[in-house]
Structure 1
Amino acid sequence: MHGSLTQILELLSQPGNGALSLMAGVLGLLIGSFLNVVIYRLPRMMQRATDNFIAQESGQDLPHPQRYNLLLPRSCCPRCEQAVQPQHNIPVLGYLLLRGRCGQCRQPISLTYPLVETFSALLSALLVWRFGAGMEGVAALLFAYFLLSMSIIDAQTQLLPDDLSLPLMWLGLLVNLGHTFAPLQDAVIGAAAGYGMLWLIFWAFKLATGKDGLGYGDFKLLAALGAWLGWQALPFILLMASALGAVVGIALVVFRKQALDQPIPFGPYLAIAGMLALLHGKDWLTGIFYAY
């Protein structure tokens, strides 16, 4: 019995398994549907909690007495507030069946929903192919789901919630107790260095210009990436994220005539760079610095 269990665990841990990757992709669709709930509701939960706290402190009636979390109330159209029918909750397919419109009021449904589900599926299949479905693969999936949620929230609200960034950081340290992606010592240094690097950049920019160039959520996200991948990955992540942000920023100014001083979220670019660092690993990162 013990031998059979060991063989199963070894099989799950092996990368490059097409059947497991396909199963992970299907599961990723379902998880992506839940991530859409997190992306939509978490910022609103935070705003409602803040509104209630202010009202309570001033002795006023709570503006949001109803229960509102990731489970309740049921999913509904944000415009007509009609509950979404079960068949329309099927990831991606439900959006296609409705032709991108609410089944009741016929108002457009954001394309973000099927895109998040699709990206979740693709990332799930890719990571299980790369790392297997053992502990390393499961950890990589959690890493990806956190980053995907935080990226969309930041893109939509320019907010990186502590409710996601701090658990991601602590989870990274726990995962690396077994040296999964980095030695624990490197992970601890990475968490501290990740926060400190952007803190220094923030204050250098503020002293030079009098403006805030970054948000504190960016500090915590880079700290979380350092906790997962170790301090060695931080230069690559910061350089890649900065390059991506610069390219997108220039494109927005040129093609959308966006003002030069209009802020853009930095979290999505940190997340993309973090995923690239995870996929390619420490050996690849080290090779960049010693290639020449």
Structure 2
Amino acid sequence: MLDIPVWLWLVSTAVLGLLVGSFLNVVILRLPARMAAQWQREAHEELELEVPDEALPPGIVREPSHCPHCKHPLSAADNIPVFGWLLLRGRCRYCREPISIQYPLVELLSGVLSTVVVWKFGPSWAALAGLVFTWLLIALAGIDFRTQLLPDQLTYPLLWIGLLLALLPMFVPPAPAILGAALGYLSLWSVYWLFKLLTGKEGMGYGDFKLLAALGAWMGPGALLPVVLLSSLVGALLGGALILLRRHGREVPMPFGPFIAMAGWIWFVAGDTLLQGYLHLTGMR
């Protein structure tokens, strides 16, 4: 990469992460709505029913940003990541309706995690791949948190990119990448069917299988057990906290995808450190 001071790489990455985070908000909010409308049209066509004469929800790229309440287009100043929300004090300039705090949170998350990735890998092609990995996980986690969906439009690219990078190899060689993808999918698939046979209920969705398969393709089979354990721990702690605070009923399903994404990203950037720390604490090293 170019001979530029590391601090400048980090600052540039933080700014880039904030800008990408703004786009990720668009993906999180618009992609599920667009998918649902397209599914409805396809269902009408399959059943030979009259297709509703309604425009599809805004797409991800072409339609400009606008207020979800009054639909007024946003100015460039309103679209400044984080600062635009702060300057507006969390309310639309035109209709004064509240603007979800999701916008600055996703932008900040993208900026911080992107910076950590470049700090971890340095200015390299591995860092660039890590940024794509991070941004896709943020989008998937946000969509699953809001809608309990993990779209194939994002899980499949994440999976295939991981497998293609293994050809270089960048993070893991081809054989571990393929084995990690297969075991990642089959492990949760087996748990799903065992749980369904025992209880008659579905404990998770197929998107969770695909997401763990993608993580296996990026990091190999050795990462799968730590990711599952870490995601289960975080999910149990957060779920228990929400139930205690009475913000989430016991009978209300909680998406597992955000916890898988969170655990996968943590292991991606700090797996070696965590493993060495565990071995040290247990006296195995």
TM-score, length basis structure 2: 0.93
Read off the aligned partner of 2:202 and give its amino acid letter.
D
Q: In structure 2, what is the equivalent of residue 44 of structure 1? A: 33
1:163-210 CA distance string (max 9 Å, x none)? 000110001111121221112110100000000000011111111111
Q: 2:138 aligns with which of 148, 159, 162?
A: 148
Q: 1:170 aligns with which of 148, 157, 160?
A: 160
Q: In structure 1, what is the equivalent of residue 15 of structure 2? A: 26
Residue 69 (structure 2) pairs with residue 79 (structure 1): yes
The equivalences for 1:1-292 within 5 A come to 9=1, 11=3, 17-57=6-46, 58-66=48-56, 68-256=58-246, 258-282=248-272, 284-285=274-275, 288=278, 292=284
Contact 1:52 1:63 in 2 (8 A): no
Distance in 1 between residues matched to 2:175 and 2:276, nearest whole Å: 18
Contact 2:34 2:57 in 1 (8 A): no
Distance in 2 between residues matched to 1:116 and 1:163, nearest whole Å: 20
Q: Secondary structure at the match of 2:244?
A: helix
Distance in 2 between residues matched to 1:231 and 1:10, nearest whole Å: 34
Indicate the percent of aligned positions where both proteins have the same amino acid. 44
Structure 1 residues 195 and 286, CA, compared in 2 at 3 Å: closer, same or farther? farther
Read off the aligned partner of 1:123 and give its amino acid letter.
L
Distance in 2 between residues matched to 1:283 and 1:99, nearest whole Å: 40
Structure 1 residues 184 and 282, CA, compared in 2 at 3 Å: closer, same or farther? farther
CA shift for structure 1 position 269: 0.7
Distance in 1 between residues matched to 2:277 and 2:154, nearest whole Å: 32
Distance in 2 between residues matched to 1:192 and 1:209, nearest whole Å: 26
Q: Secondary structure at the match of 1:86?
A: coil
Contact 2:33 2:57 in 1 (8 A): no
Structure 1 residues 286 and 227, CA, compared in 2 at 3 Å: closer, same or farther? farther
1:215-254 CA distance string (max 9 Å, x none)? 1110000000001110000000000001111111111221
Distance in 2 between residues matched to 1:249 and 1:59, nearest whole Å: 42
- Pairwise CA RMSD: 1.9
Distance in 2 between residues matched to 1:10 and 1:288, nearest whole Å: 37
CA shift for structure 1 position 19: 1.7
Structure 1 residues 101 and 257, CA, compared in 2 at 3 Å: closer, same or farther? closer
Distance in 2 between residues matched to 1:203 and 1:243, nearest whole Å: 22
Structure 2, unaligned runs of 5 or more = none
Structure 1 residues 205 and 291, CA, compared in 2 at 3 Å: closer, same or farther? farther
Contact 1:91 1:117 in 2 (8 A): yes
TM-score, length basis structure 1: 0.91
Of 67-76 and 38-47, more deviation after overlay is shown by 67-76
More helix, by proportion: 1
Structure 1 residues 34 and 157, CA, compared in 2 at 3 Å: closer, same or farther? same
Q: Secondary structure at the match of 2:78?
A: helix
Structure 1 residues 284 and 11, CA, compared in 2 at 3 Å: closer, same or farther? farther
Structure 1 residues 147 and 288, CA, compared in 2 at 3 Å: closer, same or farther? same
Contact 2:90 2:98 in 1 (8 A): yes
Read off the aligned partner of 1:20 and give its amino acid letter.
W
1:87-142 CA distance string (max 9 Å, x none)? 10111111111110011110000000011111111111111111112110000000
Distance in 2 between residues matched to 1:227 and 1:119, nearest whole Å: 24
